[in-house]
């Protein structure tokens, strides 16, 4: 046997013996090591995501570190290819340590008397990150080997990669690839340029010495070395590596994303233990609306803020929530979420007064109503915003022009206490001044409400009167089987929506496209505008968070243009609310006589007041059947001036010269029954047919 063959056999025997000895040693060390504690290692920053998983806002960990979750599948493949080529070429083949690299490093250590090269695999680096040790000794290295093997057995290759991507140091409090990509490049690591990927591969080797925001030249040299090695090992073409070296290195840290900061903070406060919060927001829409709010508030003057809320009518999901004109703008009190602030709505609640009047059969959109100087009670004499009067107008036109006298007249007929009760029953948190009893001024904004509640109520109009609960989280299931409260019956809701669609739009906006209403609170403290179509409701507010008045701050002038610009950023043409099949579309002259004109002077005295004697309000009536045919419902009224017109759901069903009539229901359910007399007086009840 030749000398060379004998030497090779001896070397092979030595290597085999080393492998056996290493396996025995690893088994004994693994048996002695305490269990791996991954709880601290797997601690991540809390992140708030939009409906599609896009990052809205991350939060630092309790110890001030930025450590964001990231899956290998969401990482640029070229980064992973360069990472393994540069750090661990046999990553997919070894059991956690690379025997060849360890033998090389051990030989260098024996010759030099010190550690010359590391031979660390990615698995060993993860072990060191989980159990950091300051010394660089053979014992520490062997412990890393043992831990790496244990980690590989427990987590597999993808688990090792996942931990490396989360824990690798990138300088200062930045840990993990995702945090580094956002901090240094300003975007997610899903798609990176070749130069960017190489930079992020290089930084963990010496994170403090290579930080591009402090040592850009050192970062460039490290990046270029990664590119050279990647090209030499065939991971990237040599010409692409040369071109990548010409790309500049970022020289400053970028801020982490902070979209929808108020919504993100609210989600974290609601569930502080959750690491990933999934909201209903649309990050792209949010990113379009936040600068819009900041721009409009700045144009209106110092100290003003703005808020915008976008609601999906079908689901109640909040698609955008802009709480202020700038979260970090202290001069505008940007940290205050004005979508949740209680403010006076001005005329923004008038549509619900009209809805109740339409529902009760007091009026129709084409009913004539007087806008003239009027006194209600001893001293209340409302005036219009422009101090003029329009004379005789239709209810539709009075609502479109936001006339005050007609709104107060309808409020007097509806009843302020009943109006407030309806709003609260629909889920709105109404606040009255000093808890006073509601009076006629509530029709013009004499109460407090939040932008969120106002948006809900308008979304109810778009949904045929059914008010949705606002849903802000996708990770919390909606309560099944919950029946939404109602703000109006379907026909009355459509009458309001159809009327508001004809409201004159701001300058340069097209008419008859969006149903909307504005409001201005007393003293020019708040400017509101709420608009809706079939799919979305958009509510905006402008004003000072401290409640100070701003001369000239008018809803139609300031808030309406912001509303229309916000709607334009939804990216779809407004669609009208569909008309219910039983809505009465008629001219004034074609209406039943009691609906043609609303007259205050026709009210009868207390003894002769028109009222429904049967069925009583709130009754549950089981009609049953007689000889196979469904029974009719008897209707009876007291007082009033004959003839009487009976209405169900706002539509006339019968006219009678007597105070008794009969109506044939077409099915079970809740119905509102109203009666009008020849003098214009009315009464209504809500009953359930079974």
DSSP letter assigned to residue 169: B
**Could you give phi then psi for residue 69, rounded to 5 degrees?**
-65, 145
Half-sphere exposure in the Cβ direction for 308 (13 Å, CA) = 35
Backbone torsions φ then ψ of 156, nearest 5 degrees: 75, 175
Dihedral sign from CA coordinates of 219, 220, 222, 227:
positive
Residues 168 and 153: beta-carbon distance below 8 Å? no
- Encoded tokens for 177: 């690839």
240 is a catalytic site residue: no
What is the Cα–Cα distance from 64 to 78, expressed in whole angstroms? Answer: 30
343's tokens: 């403010």
**φ, ψ (nearest 5 deg) of residue 276:** -120, 120
Q: Is 136 helix (H, G, I), strand (E, B) or coil?
A: coil
Choice among 45, 87, 290, 409 that is catalytic: 87
Both tokens of 84, joined, read: 């393994």
Element housing 290 (H / E)? helix 283-300
Set 123, 305, 344, 347: catalytic member: 347
Task: Please name the residue that has the structure tokens 């991954």.
Answer: 38
Nearest alpha-carbon partner for 76 in 196, 222, 227, 175: 196
Q: Cα(329)–Cα(226) distance, rounded to whole angstroms?
A: 42
Q: Classify the C-alpha dihedral 575-576-582-585 as positive or negative.
A: negative
What's the distance, Cα to Cα, between the start and end of the chain in Å?
106
Q: How far is CA 24 from CA 19, 27, 115, 672, in A?
A: 9, 5, 24, 86
- For residue 77, give the 3-state DSSP assignment: helix
CA distance 488 to 464: 7
Phi, psi of 644 (to 5 degrees): -110, 140
What is the Cα–Cα distance from 112 to 108, expressed in whole angstroms? 6
Task: Clarify whether 347 is annotated catalytic.
Answer: yes
Task: Of 522, 123, 495, 50, give the one whose Cα is nearest residue 310.
Answer: 50
Nearest to 233 by CA among 86, 117, 118, 102: 86
Measured over the CA atoms of residue 639, residue 640, residue 641 and residue 644, the dihedral's sign is: negative
* Residue 548, helix vs strand vs coil: coil
| 11 burial via Cβ count (<10 Å: 0-12, 13-18, 19+) | exposed
244 closest CA partner among 253, 236, 252, 234: 236
Helices (H), 479-535: 490-500
Q: Give the catalytic positions in this structure.
A: 87, 347
């Amino acid at each position: 046997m030749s000398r060379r063959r004998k030497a090779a056999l001896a070397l092979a025997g030595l290597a085999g013996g080393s492998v056996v000895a290493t396996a025995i040693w690893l088994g004994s060390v693994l048996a002695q090591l305490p269990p791996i504690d991954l709880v601290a290692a797997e601690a991540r920053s809390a992140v708030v995501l939009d409906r599609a998983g896009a990052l809205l806002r991350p939060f630092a960990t309790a110890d001030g570190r930025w450590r964001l979750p990231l899956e290998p599948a969401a990482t640029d493949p070229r980064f992973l290819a360069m990472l393994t080529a540069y750090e661990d070429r046999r990553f997919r083949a070894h059991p956690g340590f690379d025997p060849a690299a360890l033998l090389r490093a051990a030989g260098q250590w024996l010759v030099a008397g010190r550690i010359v090269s590391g031979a660390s695999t990615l698995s060993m680096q993860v072990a060191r990150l989980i159990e950091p040790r300051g010394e660089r000794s053979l014992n520490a290295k062997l412990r890393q080997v043992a831990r790496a093997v244990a980690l590989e057995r427990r987590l597999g290759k993808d688990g090792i990669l996942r931990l490396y991507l989360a824990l690798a140091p990138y300088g200062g409090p930045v840990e993990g690839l995702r945090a580094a990509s956002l901090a240094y490049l300003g975007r997610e690591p899903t798609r990176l340029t070749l130069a960017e990927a190489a930079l992020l591969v290089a930084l963990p080797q010496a994170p403090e010495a290579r930080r591009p925001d402090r040592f850009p030249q050192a970062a460039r040299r490290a990046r270029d070395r990664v590119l050279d090695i990647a090209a030499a090992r065939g991971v990237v073409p040599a010409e692409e590596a040369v071109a990548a070296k010409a790309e500049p290195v970022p020289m400053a840290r970028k801020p982490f994303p902070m979209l929808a900061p108020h919504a993100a903070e609210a989600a974290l406060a609601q569930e502080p233990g959750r690491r990933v919060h999934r909201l209903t927001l649309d990050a792209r829409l949010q990113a379009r609306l936040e600068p819009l709010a900041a721009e409009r508030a700045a144009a209106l003057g110092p100290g003003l803020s703005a808020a915008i809320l976008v609601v999906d009518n079908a689901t109640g999901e909040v698609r955008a929530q802009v709480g202020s004109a700038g979260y970090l703008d202290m001069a505008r009190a940007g940290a205050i979420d004005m979508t949740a602030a209680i403010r006076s709505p001005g005329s923004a609640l008038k549509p619900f007064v009209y809805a109740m009047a339409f529902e009760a059969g007091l009026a129709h959109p084409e009913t004539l109503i007087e806008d003239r100087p009027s006194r209600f009670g001893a001293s209340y004499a409302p005036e219009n915003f422009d101090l003029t009067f329009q004379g005789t107008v239709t209810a539709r036109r009075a609502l479109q022009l936001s006339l005050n006298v007609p709104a107060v007249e309808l409020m007097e007929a509806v009843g302020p206490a009943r109006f407030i009760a309806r709003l609260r029953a629909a889920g709105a948190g109404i606040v009255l001044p000093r808890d006073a009893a509601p009076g006629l001024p509530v029709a013009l904004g004499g109460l407090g409400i939040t932008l969120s509640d106002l948006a809900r109520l308008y979304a109810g109009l778009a949904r045929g009167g059914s008010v949705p609960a606002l849903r802000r989280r996708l990770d919390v299931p909606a309560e099944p089987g919950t029946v939404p409260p109602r703000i109006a019956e379907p026909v009355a809701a459509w009458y309001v929506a159809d009327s508001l669609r004809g409201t004159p739009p701001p300058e340069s906006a097209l008419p008859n496209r969006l149903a909307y209403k504005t409001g201005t609170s007393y003293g020019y403290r708040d400017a509101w505008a709420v608009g809706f179509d079939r799919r979305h409701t958009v509510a905006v507010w402008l004003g000072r968070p401290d409640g100070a008045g701003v001369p000239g701050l008018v809803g139609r002038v300031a808030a309406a243009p912001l509303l229309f610009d916000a709607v334009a950023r939804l990216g779809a043409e407004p669609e009208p609310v569909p008309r219910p099949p039983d809505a009465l579309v008629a001219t004034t002259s074609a209406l039943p006589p009691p609906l043609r004109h609303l007259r205050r002077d026709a009210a009868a005295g207390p003894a002769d007041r028109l009222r429904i004697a049967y069925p009583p309000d709130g009754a549950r009536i089981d009609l049953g059947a007689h000889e196979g045919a469904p029974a009719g419902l008897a209707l009876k009224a007291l007082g009033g001036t004959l003839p009487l017109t009976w209405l169900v759901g706002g539509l006339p069903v019968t006219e009678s010269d007597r105070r008794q009539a009969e109506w044939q229901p077409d099915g079970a359910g809740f119905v509102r029954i109203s009666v009008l007399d020849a003098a214009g007086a009315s009464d209504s009840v809500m009953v359930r047919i079974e």
